[in-house]
Amino acid sequence: MSIINALRAAVSDSGLAWRGAFNVGDADDLPPMPDGRATRSVVLLGFAGRGHWQTFLASAEARDGAPHPLDRWSRSRIDGLAKRFDGHGLYPSDGPPWLPFQRWGTRAEPVHPSPLGILIHPRWGLWHAYRGALAFADDLAEPMRAAAPSPCVACATKPCLSSCPVDAIGPGRYDWRRCADHVRSAAGDDCLKTGCRARRTCPVGAEHRYEPAEAEFHMRAFLR
């Protein structure tokens, strides 16, 4: 089995989703490997759809009552993969400076900025996340990412821009304070318990919307 296929299989066994890979160019400005070698390739890992949430819920981190259970679960799996495959784990929570995971996403798979600012995937819609990345000192023999247009281009009505109950979202803007104040209020219980209403109105990948327990977990993390 090739290294890339072995890595893909190990990622699947870990409970994470393979979110694409890219070889590093001169403009990417990635940090070097811990031993000083230049970073030559990056593999993005995360969630896609609903299935990975159940794997997390079955973990010790989800049940031990300590803070940041999903971050700790992600680091445990990704650091384990890094040790096994001579890589180095990178995480969205590391910083400042914050690593440009959204820009990396557009290098690795056919995602595009949505009107909400979240990257939209042609299959998963808005229901995906990057939990971390693996950096390597070697190039990966990974095919170029598949090209696909943004599904937002063909969406005439863009319900995501008109469904926020407190008008916290609009073209090119997001008032996170207004959003958070609403979610904390009694009137925001729907957004708290089932997730952002604007996000839920997106028709792309609607069958992959997070279940209420996962949506509430992320909304409470947002409020913290």
Look at residue 86 in the predicted model and tell me its pLDDT: 95
Secondary structure of residue 180 in the 3-state scheme: helix
What is d(CA 197, CA 176) in angstroms, rounded to the nearest whole number?
14
Look at residue 144 in the predicted model and tell me its pLDDT: 64
Look at residue 74 in the predicted model and tell me its pLDDT: 98
**Residue in 193, 199, 200 with CA at minimum distance from that of residue 214:** 193
Where along the chain do its domains lie? 3-136, 159-223
> In a structure prediction context, what are the per-residue pLDDT tens digits for the chain, which is 224 residues long?
478 889 999 999 999 999 999 999 877 878 899 999 999 999 999 999 998 999 999 999 999 999 999 999 999 999 999 999 999 999 999 888 899 999 999 999 999 999 999 999 999 999 999 999 999 999 887 666 778 999 999 999 999 999 999 999 988 899 999 999 999 999 999 999 999 999 999 999 999 999 999 999 999 999 98
**Residue in 106, 100, 102, 99 with CA at minimum distance from that of residue 145:** 106
Look at residue 1 in the predicted model and tell me its pLDDT: 47
**Residue in 86, 1, 74, 77 with CA at minimum distance from that of residue 40:** 86
Please give the full DSSP string across 18-40, using - where no structure is assigned.
Answer: EEEEEE--TTS-PPPPTTSPPP-
